Chain A
Amino acid sequence: MSLLRKILLNPAMRPIWLIVVLLVLWDLAIRLFKIPPYLIPAPQKVVEALQNEWPRLVKESTVTTWATLGGFGLSILFGIPMALLIAYSRTVESFVYPLLVFSQSVPKIAIAPLFVVWFGFGIIPKVIAAFLLGFFPIVVSTVMGFKSVEPEMIDLARSMKASRLQTFMRISLPHAMPAIFSGLKVSVTLAVVGAVVGEFVGSNSGIGYVLQIANGNFDLPLMFAALVVLSMIGVVLFVAIDLLERVMIPWHASQRGDVHATP
């Protein structure tokens, strides 16, 4: 009994409690206000849809996850070197940064059809859409991380006759890690959005495609089920990066609560 109690009272359970409360309120609201199912489906309908369509949802979400990871990987591959160039060269910064900010104000959904025209209905337009959304937060956070190294830190390294590579590897890079990770967390959730945007405009697979079809058929339970799966993808990817962060920068202030808790 006490073990069950412990599990139920665990702080990690709190979000789940909130979800349960919200589900109950959702159900109550539908019954009380007699909301018709073509506007909002009842929770149990959504659960049924999840059960019935589970194999299909899993298959389609794998497609979306690959597109997300592809775009996210490209964001890292291009974002971090780009951020390094911006952080270490004023010339590059003055040329590239304004353009980068400008490019961010272009709504991705508006240009996504263009990628379909260029690259067809395969995975590439989705990856590009995910990349375009995930790229910017990584660049901004990484630039901030590298630029926030105190000048005294650099003076210290220079007084030790450190080479530029040594200074980078032993001081600047570890110093920038927390900022890079916060960029990665924002980026990965946005990459999911990007992949779905790609699937909306032109695709025949993926959760975005399921959403599109369900919407067209007024199949609201399926649509809600697809949304649940979609947010699960986002949560899982976010948690994966969070865990990686804990392993890689256990020294950072944001992780210290746990360090104290394990004496």
Chain B
Amino acid sequence: MTQPQLRVVAGGAAAARLAAARPFIRLDGVAKTYKTADGPVESVKPVTFDIREGEFLAIVGPSGCGKSTLLKMVAGLLPATAGEISIDGRRVAGPHEGVGIVFQSPVLLAWRTVFDNVMLQIEMRKLARAEYAQRAMDLIEMTGLAGFEKKYPWQLSGGMQQRASICRALVHDPRILLMDEPFGALDAMTREKMNLELQRIWHTTGKTVLFITHSIPEAVFLADRVLVMSERPGSIAAIYDVNIPRPRSLRMMGDAAFVDLTQTIRGHFYAQGTLDH
């Protein structure tokens, strides 16, 4: 048995690595229609796109455009009504091994310490506790929670709770990290700090990230590519490459390239008249 290690990828090499990367997560004509009492409601129109290995893809869109539905389908939590999702060539038919999810709320268990909350992932997946304990501690340290592993969730701030839930999503060393508006419930300053942290974590671990957000600057700051979704029923309005060098700093949010791209993306929502929040 090999000890699971944090994969380290040099920051500068990220772009080159991406260019060579092959499609890893593939969505082919994926659509979702919910059955309701008032008849079927189309949530996501057929969408087709790829996420490359090690890529950070952000999806932005107005509320109720089916972003979260899309993420749940990739996680295998919801079946697609049409089309097919495959990860590394294997069709997604239900919850699978190689994925960790971070939700908008930290969903930590109040009766477990930070460490035990992180280890929940290991227990549920029936993996060997002893093997992953050290990795859990490494992650807790990497996310700046060292010294808090024995604390209970209610003793932590919102930002720290979300860090703990990121540790939980990464502890079994998944290849994919799915994040559903993970910082949406945090205050603006904590949110910026968490964006910096997440960039660092992504650099250190080299995971493939699918990141859902409301915030256009957040998407541009973090992502290699930004996928813009239209209003319900969701469909792809556009996909933008973010050609801003890494590592990115908050200062770069004032740069012309950054401002131009956020303005372009914002244009989609103004045109649709949906940017009301």
Binding site for B on A (CB under 8 A): 150, 152-153, 155-162, 166, 170-171, 174-175, 249, 251-253, 256
Contact of B99 among A159, A171, A252 (CB under 8 A): A159
Q: Once bound together, how far apart are the Cα atoms of A153 and B101, in whole Å? A: 11
Distance in Å from the Cβ of A202 to the closest Cβ of chain B?
46
Residues of A within 8 A of B107 (CB): 150, 152-153, 156
Known contacts A251-B110, A252-B110, A253-B154: A156-B103 contact under CB 8 Å: yes
Whether B258 is near chain A, meaning CB under 8 Å from some CB there, is no
Distance in Å from the Cβ of B173 to the closest Cβ of chain A?
14
Q: Once bound together, how far apart are the Cα atoms of A174 and B120, in whole Å? A: 14
Residue of A156, A166, A252 contacting most chain B CB atoms (<10 Å): A156
Q: Are B152 and A159 in contact (CB under 8 A)?
A: no
A sample of 19 more A-B contacts (CB under 8 A), given A249-B111, A253-B154, is A150-B107, A152-B103, A152-B105, A153-B107, A155-B101, A156-B107, A158-B95, A159-B95, A160-B95, A160-B124, A160-B125, A161-B96, A161-B97, A161-B124, A162-B124, A166-B124, A170-B109, A171-B109, A174-B111
Residues of A within 8 A of B110 (CB): 251-252
Known contacts A150-B107, A152-B107, A249-B111: A157-B154 contact under CB 8 Å: no
Residues of A within 8 A of B120 (CB): 160, 170
Number of interface residues of B (CB under 8 A): 24
Distance in Å from the Cβ of B116 to the closest Cβ of chain A?
10
Q: Once bound together, how far apart are the Cα atoms of A54 and B65, in whole Å? A: 73
Q: Are B111 and A159 in contact (CB under 8 A)?
A: no
Residues of A within 8 A of B101 (CB): 155-156, 159
Residues of B within 8 A of A256 (CB): 154
Distance in Å from the Cβ of A116 to the closest Cβ of chain B?
45
Distance in Å from the Cβ of B60 to the closest Cβ of chain A?
21
Known contacts A155-B77, A251-B152, A253-B154: A161-B103 contact under CB 8 Å: no
| B91-108 vs A, Cβ < 8 Å mask (1 yes, 0 no) | 000011101110111010
Residues of B within 8 A of A157 (CB): 124
Distance in Å from the Cβ of A182 to the closest Cβ of chain B?
16
Q: Once bound together, how far apart are the Cα atoms of A251 and B113, in whole Å? A: 10
